[in-house]
């Protein structure tokens, strides 16, 4: 008897609640808040552009300072400034998104072989840095102005590119100095003081 009475009260309550227009109005207002004002075609095109640029074109990062309080999650500073001699002459490659990246190498000092004893007076081997210029204007400048053994000044970000080898399938890591919109590439001409340096004297 009690169960039947309780069941009747519940059905009566639900029937009365569904008949109130305020419930439907509230639901309509709630669904309105979830709608987007951006047209679907524009949203789709925007997402395709972002996906296309995800691998080959990195969004520019704002300048960052070192703050130990932020812990390991903080990206820190990964800038590089080098001055050396061109090894591999600049070559340009076209990425899948149609943009161009310019690749070349720069040799500097900093290579120390501790396996060789008594090498204080021997010429030190060069340390080679792979340069990837993503700025198209600086890339064109590099191709036109830089050649093998040219003295050059580079400022960019230290990055590591990870990819799978297309032949062996192995994972490879390539450290690079990436020059983007905030980077610098400058040919050191014969009139500059640093133009007379050699790979032997860079250490």
- Predicted confidence at residue 4, as pLDDT, reads 55
Cβ 58 vs Cβ 75: under 8 Å? no
Instruction: Determine how many CB atoms are found less than 10 A away from the CB of residue 183.
Output: 19
Q: What is the mean pLDDT of the chain?
A: 70
> In which residue are the tokens 């300048």 written?
63
Kindly state the percentage of the chain with pLDDT values over 90.
36
Q: Is 47 helix (H, G, I), strand (E, B) or coil?
A: helix
What is the band of 181 on the pLDDT scale with cuts at 50, 70, 90? confident
Asked if residue 155 has pLDDT above 60, the reply is yes
**Which has the higher per-residue pLDDT, 20 or 121?**
121
CA distances to 6, 7, 9, 15, 70 from 3, in Å: 5, 6, 10, 18, 60
- Predicted confidence at residue 120, as pLDDT, reads 64
Question: pTM of this prediction?
Answer: 0.57
Asked if residue 188 has pLDDT above 70, the reply is yes
Round to whole Å and give the CA distance between 32 and 28.
Answer: 6
Q: Which of 7-16, 29-38, 192-201 has the lowest mean pLDDT?
A: 29-38
- Predicted confidence at residue 22, as pLDDT, reads 41
Asked if residue 183 has pLDDT above 90, the reply is yes
Q: Which of 9-18, 25-34, 159-168 has the lowest mean pLDDT?
A: 25-34
Token pair recorded at residue 26: 């509230």
**Average pLDDT value for residue range 142-151:** 94
The full set of domains in the chain, from first to last, is: 2-56 (no CATH), 68-201 (2.40.50.140)
């Amino acid at each position: 008897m009690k169960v039947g009475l309780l069941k009747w009260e519940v059905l009566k309550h639900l029937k009365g609640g569904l008949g109130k227009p305020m419930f439907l109005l509230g639901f309509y207002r709630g669904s309105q808040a979830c709608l987007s004002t951006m047209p679907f075609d524009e949203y789709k095109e925007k997402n395709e552009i972002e996906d296309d640029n995800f691998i080959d074109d990195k969004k520019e990062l704002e300048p960052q300072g070192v703050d130990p309080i932020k812990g390991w999650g903080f990206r820190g500073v990964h800038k590089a400034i080098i001055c050396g001699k061109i090894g591999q002459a600049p070559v340009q490659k076209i990425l899948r998104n149609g943009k161009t990246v310019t690749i070349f190498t720069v040799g500097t000092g900093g290579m120390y072989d501790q396996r060789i004893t008594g090498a204080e007076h021997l010429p030190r081997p060069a340390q080679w840095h792979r340069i990837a210029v993503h700025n198209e204007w600086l890339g064109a400048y590099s191709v036109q102005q830089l050649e093998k053994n040219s003295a050059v000044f580079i400022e960019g970000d230290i990055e590591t590119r990870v990819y799978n080898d297309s032949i062996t399938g192995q994972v490879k890591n390539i450290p690079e100095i990436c020059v983007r919109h905030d980077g610098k590439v400058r040919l050191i001409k014969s009139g500059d003081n640093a133009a007379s340096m050699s790979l032997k004297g860079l250490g």
